Amino acid sequence: MTAATETGRAYEGTHRALWALGDYGTVAAELVAPLGPALVRACGIDAGERVLDVAAGTGNAALPAALRGAEVVASDLCPDLLARGEAIARARGINLRWLEANAEALPCRSGEFDAVLSCVGVMFVPHHQPVADELVRVCRPGGVIGLLNWTPEGFIGQMFATMKPYVPTPPGAQPATLWGSADHVRTLLGDRITEFTAERAALRIDHFADGAAFRDFFKANYGPTIAAYRGIAEDAARVEALDSQLAELGDRHLAGSSTMEWEYLLVTARKR
C-alpha cells in the first residue's frame, strides 16, 4: 500500500461526512441526471457486461448502465448516497449491487469488470494516481474506462475556484478539476491504455432564475458548498463575501438568460 493510499484512508471519515451534508440526491436528480446516460452511451455499455461505477453517488451512471442489461456494481464511500441510490433503483425495479468502497483501494479483483466508469465522482478523491491505478487494475484487458469530469475552465470549475479561499485544503490533496484536463487524465492512465479519446461538452442548466438562486440551491444541497459556509460561519464578513461572489458567478454565466452551460470532459480509453 502506498503512503498516499494510507493518507487517503485517513480522509475517509471526512469525505463520508462531506458528501452526506445537504442533499446530493436532489443535485443529481434535478441538475446532473443527463450526465450518466451520456457516459454510458459513450462507453457503449451493452447487456451482460460487467460494469463498475466508481464514486457512484446515487447511481447517475450505474442506473442507466443497469437499464441496458449490464451487471452493475455501484461503489461509493458514502453510505447515505448508496442508500438513496438503492431506494431509487428499488422503486424503479432496477437490479444492481451497491458497495461501500474507497476509490483509492477498491475491494474488487483485478480484471473483474468489462467497463469501469465514473461520472463526476473520482475527481473528488484527494489523491489522483492511486485512483487511476485502481480504475485500470479492476478493468479487464481490452475493457473500457470511461470518465466524465468538470473542467477547470467551466462553470463548476470556477465555482470551486471561488470557494477555494474559504476552504482549507488537506495536505497532499490535488485539485478535483485537474480531472477535467485531458493531459492530466492521459498522464494518470499512462501506457496501460489505448484508444484514448477526450471530448469537451456542456450540460445545459435551466434551473435558476438568477445567480442568487443558484447560490442558495447549492448552499442548501451541495456538500462542498455547505462545508465551505460552515467553516466561515463565525465570520459574517467572509460569509457575505462568499455570498456575493457565488451570486456574481451565477449571474455572469446566466448573462441575462435563463440557462447556463456547465462544461465537462468525457474520456474513454481501452485497457491494453
- The residue-averaged pLDDT of 30-49 equals 98
Calculate the alpha carbon distances from 180 to 116, 119, 265 in Å. Answer: 17, 11, 5
Give the pLDDT of residue 9: 55
In-domain check, residue 197: yes
Can you tell me the mean pLDDT for 9-31?
87
Per-residue model confidence (pLDDT) at position 4: 43
**Would you say residue 168 has pLDDT above 90?**
no
Name the burial class of residue 10, with classes exposed (0-12), middle (13-18) and buried (19+) by CB atoms within 10 angstroms of its CB: exposed
Is residue 36 a part of any domain in this protein? Answer: yes
pLDDT at 200 over 80: yes
The range of the structural domain enclosing residue 267 comes to 3-206+260-271
CATH of the domain at 76: 3.40.50.150
pLDDT (tens digit per residue) in 204-226:
999 999 999 999 999 999 999 99
- In order of 209, 226, 227, 246, the CA distances from 214 in angstroms are 8, 13, 16, 8
**45 in any annotated domain:** yes
The count of structural domains within the chain is 1
Find the mean pLDDT for residues 126-154: 97
Phi-psi region of 202 (alpha: psi -120 to 50; beta: other; left: phi over 0): beta
What values do phi and psi take at 268, rounded to 5?
Answer: -130, 145
Supply the pLDDT for residue 169: 79
Beta bridge partners of 204: 261
Phi-psi region of 116 (alpha: psi -120 to 50; beta: other; left: phi over 0): beta
In a domain, 110, yes or no: yes
Range scoring the smallest mean pLDDT among 109-118, 166-175, 220-229, 251-260: 166-175
Q: Is residue 216 part of a domain?
A: no
Q: Is the pLDDT of residue 35 over 60?
A: yes
141 lies in some domain: yes
Q: Which three cell numbers stand for residue 200?
A: 469537451
Q: What integer pLDDT is reported at residue 123 of this predicted model?
A: 97
Say if residue 10's pLDDT is above 90. Answer: no
Distance between CA atoms of 82 and 99, rounded to whole angstroms?
8
Could you tell me if residue 231 is inside a domain? no
Q: What is the pLDDT of residues 44-102, one digit of tens each?
A: 999 999 999 999 999 999 999 999 999 999 999 999 999 999 999 999 999 999 999 99
Give me the percent of the chain exceeding a pLDDT of 90: 90
Residue 240: inside a domain: no
Note whether 133 and 105 are within 8 A (CB).
Answer: no
Q: What is the mean pLDDT of residues 229-234?
A: 96
Instruction: Give me the chain's average pLDDT, please.
Output: 95
